[in-house]
């Protein structure tokens, strides 16, 4: 095939995760196969604005398949809201000018929800330069794809952590609360909680009642089970918090900040820095009071992002990357390469950007959790 694309730039944006290097390798090798020049843009959209670019060839991407992290580096900078010195500026036009100077026909962006939106902004500012995105995030919350690369690797790490917590919980007859990443989506906590045999799983999509959770733990002890593991997604909300947020939206006040965020902002403006108590810590403290059982907290944090990708994520990233290379050769732009069933397919980027894929209330994982007597915090 004679490629319709002559030159591309690749960048990784947002948080790092396993599989990024495998995806870079997949895109680059497939593009090179079609005779496309490949440029690597360092540190996400900031590198694009600052014109920090390295050429990629077959040798430079060799060995990337098994490596964690990203060869190119990453950042959470947004081109339209980028801190430059002491000011926050719109650097979109600078990014576009730099791409034109490099003769880039299409920008390939690897990232999550924020990256999809930023890629579309770049596209809207440059009619002569296309974009293609790949869905990357451990949160698994990108719309239009069955799964994102990075999710399987993070779920493996979180599951192993829950597995290991069983031994100490059993030995000391404790409640152990394990906080798992995911932002406002519960995929990671739900998957790892089920796979690790957590007794309680709390996710943002199912607002919890702490009295229900406490009663479930008490019932377990009465039944001779003297320990409990609780998997908590970082974005969980109680039923009271969820109802208050819904009331704010109905009143037309838009998306209201969580109460602790309002306090944090207010005090920060006075020059005082606060360390926020993790949600898992709050839940553990309250459950210890309600049940009279000693509770401990484990927060996995960025451990979930690190290390080598699983075989599944290596395969997934390679499939998505090589499909992107084929689309580039065909001149298909302005799409996200998604997994749907057994196929990697292009999805219009405008149908993805600004949307989030959450756990639906009728999802089979939720049904499976309830059938193995896992408490989800809503009902006994």
Burial of residue 32 (number of CB atoms within 10 Å: 0-12, 13-18, 19+): middle
97: burial class by Cβ within 10 Å (0-12, 13-18, 19+)?
A: middle
CB burial string 119-149: b at 16+ within 10 A, e below: bbbbbeebeebbbbbbbbbbbbbbbbbebbb
Residues ≥6 apart with Cβ < 8 Å to 21? 64, 65, 67, 68, 69, 70, 71
Q: Which of 43, 139, 152, 199 is catalytic?
A: 139
Distance CA 109, CA 310 (A): 22
Q: How far apart are CA 73 and CA 295, in angstroms?
A: 39
Contact status, residue 184 vs residue 203, Cβ threshold 8 Å = no
- Three-state DSSP state, 228: strand
Quick one: which H or E segment has residue 180? strand 175-180
For Cα atoms 351, 356, 360, give the angle at the middle one, nearest 5 degrees.
115
Would you state the structure tokens that stand for residue 226, as one six-digit string? 């003297």
Rounded Cα distance, 237 and 209, in Å = 9
The yes-or-no answer on residue 184 being catalytic is no
Residues facing residue 347 across a β-bridge: 336
What is the rounded CA–CA span in Å between residue 109 and residue 90? 19
Grouping H, G, I as helix, E, B as strand and the rest as coil, residue 229 is strand
Half-sphere exposure of residue 348, counting CA atoms within 13 Å on the CB side? 2
Q: How far is CA 131 from the centre of its chain?
A: 21
Q: Largest alpha-carbon pair distance within the chain?
A: 71
| Residues with active-site annotation | 139
């Amino acid at each position: 095939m004679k490629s319709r694309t002559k030159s591309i730039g690749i960048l990784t944006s947002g948080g790092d995760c396993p599989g990024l290097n495998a995806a870079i390798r997949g895109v680059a090798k497939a593009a090179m196969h079609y005779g496309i020049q490949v440029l690597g843009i360092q540190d996400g959209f900031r590198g694009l604005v600052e014109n920090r670019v390295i050429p990629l060839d077959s040798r430079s991407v060799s060995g990337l398949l098994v490596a964690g992290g990203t060869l190119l580096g990453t950042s959470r900078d947004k081109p339209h809201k980028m801190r430059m010195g002491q000011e926050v500026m719109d650097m979109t036009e600078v990014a576009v000018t730099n791409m034109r100077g490099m003769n880039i026909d299409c920008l390939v962006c690897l990232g999550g929800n924020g990256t999809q939106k930023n890629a579309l902004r770049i596209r809207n500012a440059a009619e002569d330069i296309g974009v293609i995105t790949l869905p990357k995030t451990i949160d698994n919350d990108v719309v239009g794809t069955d799964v994102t690369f990075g999710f399987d690797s993070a779920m493996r790490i979180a599951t192993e952590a829950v597995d290991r917590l069983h031994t100490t919980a059993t030995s000391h007859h404790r409640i152990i609360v394990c906080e798992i990443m995911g932002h406002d989506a519960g995929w990671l906590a739900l998957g790892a909680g089920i796979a690790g045999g957590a007794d309680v799983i709390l996710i943002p999509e199912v607002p919890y009642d702490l009295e229900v959770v406490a009663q479930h733990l008490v019932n377990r002890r009465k039944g001779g089970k003297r320990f409990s593991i609780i998997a908590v997604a970082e974005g969980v909300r109680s039923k009271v918090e969820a109802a208050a947020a819904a009331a704010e939206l109905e009143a037309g006040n838009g998306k209201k900040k969580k109460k602790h965020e309002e306090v944090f902002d207010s005090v920060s403006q006075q020059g005082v820095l606060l360390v926020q108590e993790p949600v898992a810590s709050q839940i553990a403290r309250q459950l210890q009071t309600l049940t009279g059982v000693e509770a401990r907290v484990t927060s996995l944090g960025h451990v979930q992002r690190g290390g080598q990708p699983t075989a599944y994520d290596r395969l997934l990233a390679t499939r998505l990357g090589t499909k992107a290379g084929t689309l580039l050769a065909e001149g298909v732009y302005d799409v996200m390469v998604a997994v749907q069933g057994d196929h990697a397919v292009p999805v219009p980027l405008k149908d993805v950007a600004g949307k989030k894929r959450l756990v639906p209330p009728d999802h089979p994982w939720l049904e499976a959790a309830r059938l193995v007597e896992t408490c989800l915090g809503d009902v006994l």
